[in-house]
Amino acid sequence: MPTTLENWNPGKAENRHPEMTYEEKEKLFLEVKEDPRYEDFLYGCYECGICVSSCPSARFYDYSPRVIAQAMAREDVERIYDIISEDIWNCAQCFSCVRCPRGNNPGGLVTLLREVAVRNGLQETRDVLQGYSRVIYKVMLKGNQVSPDMLQPDFFPDWGPWVAQFSANMPVWRKAIPVDTLRGVTDAAWRTERKTLLELYTIWFETGNMDIIKEIDEGLYDLLAEVMQEELEDQ
């Protein structure tokens, strides 16, 4: 039966988060919808399930890129709040879901939803990203984010006894790399000029990125802002 105005039944989700008003939830959805990328990422949903069949997270979690595309297409504000407060953090951002024959990009929608969740400092988001602040700290202060000194047995015990080897031999092994920008560097992935870092700090402040960090972790913001401001003032 073709969908008409009369039989349209989008199956709106129930209010599972009464602690937040409908208006607040709608405001979050509208922030996503107003993003210029939104129109590029959502064209409707056939409900064919191709995105789900190729999604790693759908195999592991109670997670579905199809539900995200459907909820967004139906503008189901309650369901979208369910998604924004939890589901989005299960996505692996592999973009296997862009196999969608309709041209949807559920992974892209998740990116927008995450950005809005972070910008609004949702409590669930703060909780999820708590363990990730070390990486945010690294990328913002060092210009790259996976430094060799992260390889410590305490952080990666499940990576086997080699992590202890990497860690113990780090200073000398890093000197035994012929690449000029890597040789001897242990606290960053590669050696970056100070001027380059200052330009990166300028980007963080000018684009409002620092305000975003403030929303999710004020302590981290204070730490980063102090170091960056000092460096920029010394320039």
Partner 1 sequence: MTTTVEEILERKSHAVIRDPEVAPIVDLREELFELEARGEVIVQRVPENHVEVTTKFGRKKKIPIDHTWHHKSCGQCGHIPGYTSSIFWLHRQFDLDYLDPKDQTSCTGWNYYASGASNATAQAAVMSRNFAAAYETGYFPMIHCGTSYGHYKEVREQLIHHKGLRDEVRRVLDKMGKPLVIPEELVHYSEWIHVMRKRIAEKQTVDMSAITATVHPACHYYKIVVEDAIYDPEIYGGQRMATVTATLQALGMNVADYSTWYDCCGFGFRHILVQRDFTRSFANLRKIEVMKNEVNPDVTVTHDTGCVTTLDKSQFAAKAHDRKVGIPVLSDAQVSALAMGAHPFRVVQMHWHSTDWRPFMDKLGVDWQKYWDEFQGDLELIRSGQKAGITWEDADKPVVNVA
Residues 35-64 contacting partner 1, CB under 8 A: 35-37, 40, 43-44, 54, 56-57, 59-61
Task: Report the residue number, 16 or 103, with the smaller CB distance to partner 1.
Answer: 103
Task: Report the residue number, 26 or 231, with the smaller CB distance to partner 1.
Answer: 26
Phi and psi, residue 161, nearest 5°: -65, -15
Tokens of 224: 């980063």
How far apart CA 82 and CA 25 sit, in angstroms, is 10
Is position 4 an interface residue for partner 1 (rule: CB under 8 A)? yes
Tokens of 136: 């945010």
Is position 141 an interface residue for partner 1 (rule: CB under 8 A)? no
Residue of 15, 164, 209, 227 that binds partner 1 (CB under 8 A): 209
Residue of 126, 145, 153, 223 that binds partner 1 (CB under 8 A): 145
Is position 216 an interface residue for partner 1 (rule: CB under 8 A)? yes
Residue of 24, 199, 218, 222 that binds partner 1 (CB under 8 A): 199
Residues 79-138 contacting partner 1, CB under 8 A: 88-89, 92-96, 98, 101-103, 108, 111, 113-115, 117-119, 125, 129, 131-132, 135-136
Mask of contacts with partner 1, 14-33, x by CB under 8 A? ------------x--xx---
Binding footprint of partner 1, residue count (CB under 8 A):
101
Taking the complex as a whole, the smallest distance from the CB of residue 15 to partner 1 amounts, in Å, to: 16
End-to-end Cα distance, the chain: 68
Residues 154-193 contacting partner 1, CB under 8 A: 156, 158-160, 162-163, 165-166, 169, 172-184, 188-193
CA contacts within 13 A on the Cβ side of 36? 0
Phi and psi, residue 184, nearest 5°: 80, 0
Tokens of 42: 């959502």
Helices (H), the chain: 22-33, 38-41, 50-53, 56-60, 65-74, 77-85, 106-119, 123-129, 133-142, 162-175, 194-206, 209-216, 218-234
Task: Report the residue number, 132 or 226, with the smaller CB distance to partner 1.
Answer: 132
Tokens of 214: 């403030």
218 near 212, Cβ under 8 Å?
no
